[in-house]
Amino acid sequence: MSGAFSSEISTYGEHGWIARLTGARDIVAAALFVNTVADAVRGQTGIIDAVAGVDSLVIRFNPELLTPSIARAMLEQALAATPSNVCPARKQITIPVCYGGAHGPDLGAVSKKAGLTPEQVIKTHAEQPYRVLAVGFAPGFAYLGPLSPSLHVARRATPRPRVDAGSVGVAGAMTGVYPLASPGGWQIIGRTPTLLFNPSADDPFTFAPGDEVRFRAIGEAAFHALVENAL
């Protein structure tokens, strides 16, 4: 019995397999499941990569150590052995956010699309806890969800060439924080002064899959005080 999720496995390149969940309705359960499966496969003999997305995972194997069918069997075994229940978070993280203004240039557009006032958008975004559904895109970037359906908006039609480090964005059913200045297509509603990726720290990464994350609204003065502090 393959947990509570059914999945389809297909090739990913000549030395990889992808497993995609089919018909998973609960985005949090699905994301935590594929991350747990990836953790279980990673580190086994001959596995080079085990990387999870939101509802899929890919493993890549060393052909000098494994045949394609053995690698696939390792994946199938982990899929079958991983429970599908949502475990409580091991870590709680609170991220202070200064919403709107220069820090959140898309807050107005998101409010309009959602049919809410900017204050309601901020309250809705900050009041509920999220889980880290996946990490990736850039070092330190976490996909957080689920986002309240009232805040589901499409990505920007044209990505911005540069989004400031710490920018808090929404896109579809997810929210996230850009750890580094980078190009980005998410709708930016605020910015955190918290440093989310610090390569010289013992643990460079703030987020791990499954962590619980809350946003706390702060004002401009607090934002600048925290930036000073972080330096």
Binding mask 62-91 for other proteins (x = CB under 8 A): xxx---x-----------------------
If one asks whether residue 134 binds other proteins (CB under 8 A), the answer comes out as yes
Among 7, 55, 189, 194, binds other proteins (CB under 8 A): 55
If one asks whether residue 211 binds other proteins (CB under 8 A), the answer comes out as no
Among 32, 37, 51, 188, binds other proteins (CB under 8 A): 51
From 20, 17, 16, select the one nearest 8 (Cα to Cα).
20
If one asks whether residue 197 binds other proteins (CB under 8 A), the answer comes out as yes
Report the helix count and the strand count for the chain, using DSSP H and E: 5, 13
Residue type, 111: S
Which of 16, 105 has the CB closer to other proteins? 16
If one asks whether residue 175 binds other proteins (CB under 8 A), the answer comes out as no
What does the block give as tokens for 155? 């990505």
Q: Is 203 exposed, middle or buried (0-12, 13-18, 19+ CB in 10 A)?
A: exposed
Phi, psi (5° rounding) for residue 25? -95, -35
Among 180, 195, 226, 227, binds other proteins (CB under 8 A): 180
Which of 14, 228 has the CB closer to other proteins? 14
- Max intra-chain CA distance, the chain: 59
